[in-house]
Amino acid sequence: MEKFIVQGDTRLCGEVTISGAKNAAVAIIPATILAQGKCVIENIPNISDITMLFKILRALGASVRMLDRTTVEVDTTYITEPVVPYELARYMRASYYLLGTLLSRCNRASVSMPGGCNFGVRPIDQHMKGFEALGATVSIDSGMINAKADMLLGAHIYFDVVSVGATINVMLASVKAKGITILENCAKEPHIVDLANFLNSMGADIRGAGTDVIKIHGVDILHGTTYSIIPDQIEAGTYMVAAAATGGDVLVKNVIPKHLEAITEKLEKAGAEVTEYDDSIRVTREGELSKVNLKTMPHPGFPTDMQPQMTALLSMANGTSIVTEGVWDNRFRYVDELRRMGAQIQVDGKVAVVEGVPRLTAAPVRAVDLRAGAAVLIAAMAAHGVTEIEDIEHIERGYENIVEKLEALGADIRKVVLPDGELKAAL
Ligand SMILES: CC(=O)N[C@H]1[C@@H](OP(=O)(O)OP(=O)(O)OC[C@H]2O[C@@H](n3ccc(=O)[nH]c3=O)[C@H](O)[C@@H]2O)O[C@H](CO)[C@@H](O)[C@@H]1O
Ligand SMILES: C=C(OP(=O)(O)O)C(=O)O
C-alpha cells in the first residue's frame, strides 16, 4: 500500500516542466498498430497508463523499446491475435482505442470492456455506431467487445453526443477504410488534433480535426513516422491551480497557452495573475481568492478533467461558487474527501455549491480517481497540518513524477510504501 504524507501550509514557488499529454499519448500509441514500419514517438509521459499500453502492445506481438527517458520506438510488424483480455484492459479506459486500430489492421478485434476513472456510466454506443456505419458487426459477449468486418467502407457518421473517445476511435478505424468518411458533431480537444497530425505524418489524409466536422480520405498504406506529443493541458492546468491555491508563484514550462485559455480565464476571475509567454505560463496569487462559477463543457469549454482541482481551490475562496459538471453524471465523488478537510460543499446531481472557508485543515483522505487525487493533493498542500492521501495509484495513472515536481516547487510530500497496518506505527 502506498500513501502520500503531505505537509500543509505550503506556498509553491519556482518552475515546473510539463510532460507529454496523457490523453494524446493513449490514442497515439495504439495508432502505431496502423503503421507499416517503425514509429518513434517523443515526449512520452512516464505514467502508469502508458506502461500498461506498452504491456498490451507487447502482448499483441509488438516490439516496444525506450530510446531515452521520453522517446519510444514501436514496431508493430508482427501483431498476432487481435485480442486484448480483461487482465490487460481493465486498468484503463483508453484500451478501447485498440478496437479501432485492430479492426482496421486485422478486420477483427476483441477487447475487454475498458476501465478508467469511475464517473458513473461510461458508454461506448457512439463508438459502436461508428464502427457499424463503416461496415463492421459489433457485439458484446461476456465482457468482451467484438468487432469484425470483411472490409471497412467510408461512411457519413453523425455522433449523437460530443465524445472524445468515439471521435478518436472512429477516426482510427476509418483512416484506412475505402473511400471517404465524414464525421460530424466531433469533439475538438487538442489531443484529437494531435492524433490527426500523427496519422497525417504517417501518410493519412485527415482534414478538419479541431472542428465539428472531420473528413477522412481512406489510404491503403500508413508508414512509420517520428512524432512529438503535445504538452499535457491538464497537467499544466493542475500546476496552475496548485500555484493559485497555495498563494504561490510558479512558471509552468512547455505548455501551449492557447490550450489553457479556459483555465486561465477562471483563475484570473478567482484572483490569480496569469502571464502568458510563447511556451510557458506564470501564475501568481497574492490577494484573497474570490468565488467563481463554472460549468465543464467539451473543448473549448472548461475541461471536465480540471473540475475537481478548481473545486478544491474554490473551497478556499471568499463567497459561494457554483460548479456544474456538464460532461459526466457522477464526477463529485471526491467532495466527501474535501469535506473531511473542512470544505463546505453541497452536491445536488451535477451541481456543487461551494461555500468558501478561510482555511482547510488536514485529514486522512483518499484519491477516489485521477483528477480527484490531484484535487485532494492541492487541498492538502494549502491546508493547515499534515494530510495522508490513500489510493495514490490513481494519481500516478496520469501525473509524471508528481512528488519530485511538487518538491522542486517547495512542497513537502513523502511517498510511503508500507504494508497495511504498519503505516501508523511508522509515523
Ligand atoms: C467531451 C469531453 O469533455 N470528454 C472528456 C471525456 O472523454 P472520454 O472520451 O472519456 O468521454 P467522452 O468524450 O466519450 O464522453 C463525453 C460524454 O459523452 C457520453 N458518451 C460517450 C461515448 C459514447 O459512446 N456515448 C456517450 O453517451 C458520455 O457519457 C459523456 O457524458 O472524459 C475524459 C476523461 O475525463 C476527458 O479527458 C474528456 O475531455
Ligand atoms: C479521467 C481521465 O482519464 P480516463 O478517461 O483515462 O479515465 C482523465 O484524464 O482525467
User: In CATH, what class is 22-228?
Assistant: alpha beta
- The residues pairing with 354 across neighbouring beta strands, listed in sequence order, are 321, 345
Residues with Cβ < 8 Å from 142, sequence gap 6 or more?
none
pLDDT at position 426: 42
Q: What is the DSSP string of 405-420?
A: HHHHTT-EEEEEE--T
User: How confident is the model over 113-169, as pLDDT tens digits?
Assistant: 887 677 877 899 999 999 999 999 999 998 899 999 999 999 999 999 999 999 999
ipTM of predicted complex: 0.97
Q: Do domains 2-19+231-426 and 22-228 have the same CATH topology?
A: yes
Q: Is 123 a known ligand-binding residue?
A: yes
How many Cβ atoms from other residues are within 10 Å of residue 21's Cβ?
A: 27
Q: Beta partners for 348?
A: 351
Listing DSSP states for 8-53 in one string gives: -S---EEEEE--B-HHHHHHHHHHGGG-BS-EEEES---SHHHHHH
Q: Among 296, 327, 334, 370, name the best residue to mutate to test ligand 1's pocket (greatest count of ligand atoms within 8 A of Cβ).
A: 327
For residue 282, give the C-alpha cell. Answer: 506564470
Which is the closest atom of ligand 1 to the Cα of 129? 24
Ligand 2 proximity of 94 Cβ (cutoff 6 Å): yes
What are the pLDDT tens digits along the chain (427 aa)? 899 999 999 999 999 999 999 999 999 999 999 999 999 999 999 999 999 999 999 999 999 999 999 999 999 999 988 999 888 888 888 999 999 999 999 999 999 988 767 787 789 999 999 999 999 999 999 889 999 999 999 999 999 999 999 999 999 999 999 999 999 999 999 999 999 999 999 999 999 999 999 999 999 999 999 999 999 999 999 999 999 999 999 999 999 999 999 999 999 999 999 999 999 999 999 999 999 999 999 999 999 999 999 999 999 999 999 999 999 999 999 999 999 999 999 999 999 999 999 999 999 999 999 999 999 999 999 999 999 999 999 999 999 999 999 999 999 999 998 676 554 444 4
Expressed in angstroms and rounded, the spacing between residue 89 Cα and the centre of ligand 2 is 14
Q: How far is the CA of 349 from the centre of ligand 1 (A)?
A: 18
pLDDT at position 248 is 98
Q: What is the pLDDT of residues 250-279, one digit of tens each?
A: 999 999 999 999 999 999 999 999 999 999
The domain locations on the chain are: 2-19+231-426, 22-228
**Ligand nearest to the Cα of 138, by number:** 1
* Ligand 2 atom nearest to CA at 93: 6
Q: Which three cell numbers stand for residue 191?
A: 489531443
The answer to whether 151 and 128 are in contact (CB under 8 A) is no
Check: CB of residue 177 under 8 Å from CB of residue 104. Answer: yes
CA of 370 to the centre of ligand 2 (A): 7
Q: Give 84's contacts (C-beta < 8 A, 6+ positions apart).
A: 56, 59, 60, 95, 98, 102, 109, 110, 111, 112
Q: Is the distance from CB of 133 to CB of 155 less than 8 angstroms?
A: yes
CATH node for 2-19+231-426: 3.65.10.10
Whether residue 126 is annotated as binding a ligand: the answer is yes
- Active-site residues, by number, are 117
- Nearest CA among 114, 228, 117, 133 for reference residue 171: 133
Give the pLDDT of residue 425.
46
pLDDT of residue 115: 73
pLDDT at 47: 96
Ligand 2 contact, 237 CB (< 6 A): no
What is the reported pLDDT for 143? 87
0.80 surpassed by pTM: yes
Per-residue confidence (pLDDT) for residue 422, from 0 to 100: 52
Total residue length of the chain = 427
